[in-house]
Amino acid sequence: MSYLRTNIDDKGVATVTLNRPEKHNCFDDTLILEIAEAVSALASNPAVRVLILAGEGKSFSAGGDLSWMQRMANYTHAENERDASQLAEMLRVLNEFPKPTIARVQGAAFGGAVGLVSCCDIAVGTTRASFSLSEVKIGLIPATISPYVIQAIGAR
């Protein structure tokens, strides 16, 4: 089952929606690949004029799925490297999307979700939107998303 919905309207507005509201649209290795594939396909579609990245439900995205992170703790070095490369590739294809990108943020945008927002050209948030690099609370650094976050908000 896919946790990603993609739609292109008749005006060329493509919407990619994280559709896992019961888990606050957290992502794992499968969803990361789906996002990268969807964004890559939309990049090469001449009918697309703009891309909106959205989340279904009360949260934009809680970032990485904790059960996925627990699985990763038992991965080999090679498996962890592959996982990190896939996350980096997803962020790269979104960041380099050849047309305008808009993050539509409601509720929480935590951890890796801040990276997704930072890769978009424009971020529009509701009054209930909140942003956090929450992984630092459990001893992880936001290394993969940091270049995009710094690019979006500045080094200070």
| Residues carrying an active site annotation | 135
* Strand 101-105 with 108-110, pairing: unpaired
Q: Copy the structure tokens of residue 78.
A: 């090679």
Residue 102: other Cβ atoms inside 10 A: 18
List the one residue out of 68, 73, 65, 43 whose CA is nearest residue 112: 65
Whole-angstrom distance, CA of residue 146 vs CA of residue 149: 5
**Is 149 within 8 Å of 109 (Cβ atoms)?**
no
